[in-house]
């Protein structure tokens, strides 16, 4: 039986890779312009990082992690998200002792045991940003502004930015109590998952996708009415900063996010055109995560942007990513001596920066020209044993069906022309 890829994973084949390279390049250039430094962390971490960082009551930790014991008996987990790993690396590197803020960017694969559907996979990839070391709402506006510009630069205009504040532990204690009071008379109507959330994490009930729970949650109290003075002021500052940047947003008190580490700012960029999994980018502030995973008291803010969802969004918006240039040249050879010389010539052309190929199938002339058409090359460099003796090659300009004879030493200049 043939072996196929695991459900919820994807092969990114060569005919699609140009899209990934384009987006990765764009993200890198923009991150450079904003002063974010790239960081790469391991694909797996000790499980404790996520149970402490992401939070034991979250769906991610309770149901979605790929966790296993390694041969040394340690519990290991494939990264379900990027922030906890980046925070761990920041602490381990003692980067907090440097001049702050610390601004990291990353591209990472993430693993979550979720039921696959359009826009939701078990292995997916994220672009991410994190700013550590500042409580200023300028930093929150900066990461939001980055995402906003990234989408706009790509030509995406139909995303909605929704912002909220999930407050601090003081605001949330009061708010959770208010939520329990609100949902208590309807406890029996809640879905099984939300019954479990009722005591431990009632804020997640407002985020439940079940239609009945959604209906119940419609008139639930809003977190914004429970913010303490500091959190309320921070939310006002954020809105002011976004207004100054002329970034449109909608205040949506139902944005609670699926990870426990958030404090104050929470935001999502949502599309209505790509199906149920419409959140393309999500993030917010996490002022205690670093402490939670064993570091000093350093605040942070950032986002994760799902690359597969971004590609769906671009397709839905009819935005085409430019394809990469095809090969420049095929060296077409006839005869054994010419083959050997052709391979050397090909290497020299590549050294000079040309995209050059030699037919490794050793086809006949006709076959090699057919192959040149298939590759879409601009020219074929034809060398037979005769040409070899004379020290020349024929350059065939494929589009113009024009041919010209050049001396070996003049090939590169001719191709450059």
**Nearer to ligand HAM among residue 50 and residue 226 (C-beta):** 50
Q: Which residues of 248-274 are buried (b: 16+ CB within 10 A; e: fewer)?
A: ebeebbebbbbbbbbbbbbbbbbbeeb
State the nearest-atom distance from the C-beta of 129 to ligand HAM, in Å. Answer: 7
Q: How far apart are CA 319 and CA 148, in angstroms?
A: 17
Please spell the DSSP secondary structure of 243-260, one letter per residue. Answer: HHTT---EE-TT---S-T
Which of 26, 120, 214, 239 binds ligand HAM (CB under 6 A)? It is: 120
112 is an interface residue for ligand HAM by CB under 6 A = yes
Q: Contact, 194 vs 216, CB < 8 A? A: no
For the record, the structure tokens of 417 come out as 């022309």
What count of other Cβ atoms lies within 10 Å of the Cβ of residue 288? 17
State the nearest-atom distance from the C-beta of 271 to ligand HAM, in Å. Answer: 10
What residues contact 217, with CB distance under 8 A and at least 6 apart? 205, 206, 208, 254
295 is an interface residue for ligand HAM by CB under 6 A = no
What count of other Cβ atoms lies within 10 Å of the Cβ of residue 375? 18
Site string for ligand HAM, 357-386 (x = CB under 6 A): ------------------------------
Going 233 to 239 to 242 to 244, the CA torsion angle's sign is: negative
Which of 50, 104, 124, 146 binds ligand HAM (CB under 6 A)? It is: 124
Cα dihedral 106, 112, 117, 118, rounded to 10, equals 0
Q: Among 306-314, 335-343, 352-360, 383-391, which window interacts with ligand HAM (CB under 6 A)?
A: 306-314
Region 22-41 residues binding ligand HAM, contact defined as CB under 6 A: none
Q: How far apart are CA 83 and CA 88, in angstroms?
A: 9
DSSP class of residue 126 equals: E
Site string for ligand HAM, 127-146 (x = CB under 6 A): -x-x----------------
Site string for ligand HAM, 252-291 (x = CB under 6 A): ------xx-------------------xxxxxx-------
State the nearest-atom distance from the C-beta of 286 to ligand HAM, in Å. Answer: 6
State the nearest-atom distance from the C-beta of 201 to ligand HAM, in Å. Answer: 15
Q: Among 42-50, 243-251, 305-313, 318-326, which window interacts with ligand HAM (CB under 6 A)?
A: 305-313
Total chain residues near ligand HAM (CB under 6 A): 26
Q: Which residues bind ligand HAM (CB under 6 A)?
A: 81-83, 112, 114, 119-121, 124, 126, 128, 130, 258-259, 279-284, 302-304, 306, 308-309
């Amino acid at each position: 039986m043939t072996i196929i890829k695991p459900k919820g994973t994807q092969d990114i084949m060569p005919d699609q890779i140009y899209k990934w390279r384009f987006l990765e390049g764009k993200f890198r250039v923009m991150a450079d312009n904003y002063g974010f430094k790239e960081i790469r962390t391991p694909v797996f971490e000790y499980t404790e990082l996520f149970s402490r960082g992401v939070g034991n009551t979250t769906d991610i930790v309770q149901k979605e992690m790929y966790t296993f014991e390694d041969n040394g008996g340690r519990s290991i987990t494939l990264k379900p998200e990027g922030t906890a790993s980046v925070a761990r690396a920041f602490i381990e590197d003692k980067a907090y002792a440097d001049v702050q803020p610390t601004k990291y960017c990353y591209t990472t694969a993430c693993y979550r045991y979720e039921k696959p559907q359009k826009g939701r996979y078990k292995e997916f990839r994220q672009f991410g940003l994190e700013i550590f070391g500042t409580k200023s709402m300028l930093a929150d506006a900066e990461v939001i502004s980055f995402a906003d510009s990234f989408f706009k630069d790509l030509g995406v205009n139909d995303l909605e930015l929704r912002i909220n504040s999930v407050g601090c532990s003081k605001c949330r204690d009061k708010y959770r109590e208010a939520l329990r009071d609100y949902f208590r008379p309807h406890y029996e109507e809640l879905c099984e998952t939300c019954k479990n959330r009722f005591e431990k994490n009632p804020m997640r009930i407002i985020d439940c996708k079940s239609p009945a729970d959604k209906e119940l949650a419609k008139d639930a109290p809003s977190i914004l009415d429970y913010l303490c003075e500091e959190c309320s002021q921070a939310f006002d500052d954020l809105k002011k900063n976004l207004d100054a940047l002329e970034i449109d947003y909608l205040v949506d008190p139902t944005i609670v996010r699926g990870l426990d580490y958030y404090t104050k700012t929470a935001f999502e960029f949502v599309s209505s055109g790509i199906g149920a999994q419409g959140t393309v980018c999500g993030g917010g502030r996490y002022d205690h995560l670093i402490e939670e995973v064993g570091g000093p008291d350093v605040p942070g803010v950032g986002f994760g942007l799902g690359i597969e969802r971004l590609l769906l969004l671009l397709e839905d918006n009819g935005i085409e990513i430019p394809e990469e240039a095809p090969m420049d040249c095929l060296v077409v050879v006839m005869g054994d001596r010419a083959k050997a010389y052709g391979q050397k010539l090909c290497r020299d052309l590549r050294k000079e920066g040309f995209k050059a190929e030699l037919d490794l199938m050793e086809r006949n002339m006709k076959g090699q020209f057919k192959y040149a058409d298939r590759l879409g090359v601009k020219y074929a460099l034809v060398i037979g044993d005769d040409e070899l003796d004379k020290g020349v090659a024929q350059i065939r300009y494929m589009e113009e069906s024009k041919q010209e004879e050049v001396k070996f030493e003049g090939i590169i200049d001719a191709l450059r022309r």
